[in-house]
A and B are shown apart, each in its own frame.
Chain A
């Protein structure tokens, strides 16, 4: 008997004209480990929600058949576990042990069994803290392993993973994948959505590629699928191994110094650091979690007062954290890790005009960042890649010479990634200085003219984000 069967399955969210998934026929046998691929918008997450019995019947319409172990997914829910991307929207309780117990309580597991199962699950994912460890004090990778423990404690036969490592730094991601690999047994089925294929391949033995608009485009063993469709998938944004991205090197040597960081430290968050950024160069700031990378970006951006040392812009008066916001934005453009933090209006075009930017410049920026067709959209409705492009555009609207970005390529598909790399390379070649805080090795190898690695300090975990 098959574990998962879809026949002519489709789903449309309320309020949308287009179907998220349509005409999908797919059979997955027990014990298979499937990587589900497809460009963004192909309905991968919708499909996982359908298999987990979580499609909100009051907020959309379904067609076709979905079965798990021959049952309606709503009935089969006890057999299915689902892990999402962001640990901070999965953890429920304040203490780690309580969070793993949450699902067991919901299922009515007898009290005497709960804590042994909690301990067993935490052990399995390699969680090394006591049960009382506050969930808010965990790093992203630790929090995601805790969330995985909460799912595995329910002993699912079918495990669904929706980009489980996309929000994590490389070492955190590796730990989560390791825990997933150790979980698998011949009688357990795994379906993984992930667009960084190289990381997913050790976990899977079959690849299914969804077609946006409906149906399955390719299905088979990884080798065969990537031989036949690798180029096409890479073009459509999937990170397929063996498709390296050519470096974007500076065409001319760097120019004047734009900013000097003189032994800047910020209380316990950033130990003293010195740095210089020139026009026409891309500086990548790397380092482990807790090294203070994001804090350095904030100090460079004039958003945080250093507790020691100085940030100097040659020819400009005083330290940047004392400047009025308008003056600051004309000199430094800061791009935050979460694009939505920077949105202040209800229309994409207004976001760029808010700083008093001329309409022709707004149109030019929209054009350059491929956002013209979204000029009237609400910024909060943009996809991840679109929102990232808009946040870069907002920083460019005031035409600063220096751009400071915090994990700009974080979680982006390959297509958006290349667009961003081209854009940043172009800005550098126009003579701007670009500083990017990043964990992304590809970013460093493709774009960085110089790398400054911040040393590891006593690990100080900050909840939920890659807070450097």
Chain B
């Protein structure tokens, strides 16, 4: 017969301080664990949202990011003539030839400079191509002018990038005429302007990449075979934009995950030991009680279960507390350097159902490991000895 559940949780009440300390310990560990997973998820979400499924990026082969890619004007013109490309309402092909560079800007906080991506885009079609970009303040830049629009995360963090102000780079003054958001994607960490103005200012002869939208995603094989059979485009390759931005998240993602998980594993040892100490104490304090239970006819198995449940209660409550606290992190935005592009990227913590589940599983495992050995000791007590309190 099983020992009633209430026996287990009432026991926790009697030792409030110890229970609370152990619980906080587990909650802290689960908090950190959840935070790491949320950060990785947030990073992926940001970069995956940057790409669209029916968009293709054409880069130079072996260029790992658009900053490193070089694509000459002739090739760009050639690509824009491919028949598989979608057309906008004016009948123009939905293509943007981008010139991507990095500039240094001073942070508002005053602690040094950051690297910011400046993307020169084709004025008319870039907005058709990246549908997630929406101007929230001001207006779009005009073609042929030294005007720029700034992503919201840049406008929040860098000096001189607010609406109406001017920043100087490449020996010209650029006026900020608009602020845009882009559904929390990586574009929010960029500055956009007219590609021809940018190339003139930076004295560049070639674009970085060409991005285009297919009229129909099913035409990708046809596009690719046409692309590959064109000898003048031999040095380039088209990539699915979503996949491309996903790859960009890998270096930083792995770094954050490895660092975070190593820390959590070490943490969890601490929490498990904490749970173990509490449970051992709770067993040794209740030797007589356990003897009584056993002499009343409860099986060793039931005693084991009762103590394991006690540990599980602590773990589950601690786990819930940890996840609850971590969910508040969703309001925080982190900006750090992305190794793939060597520029600043802002992203947030993002909670998902699967993260909650794995955090709770993690908490339960900590509870089981921490509670198992003490529970075994409780179950193995001899009735007579236990009743004497030995």
Chain A partners chain B: no
Which A residues are closer than 8 A to B by beta carbons?
A: none
Which B residues are closer than 8 A to A by beta carbons?
A: none
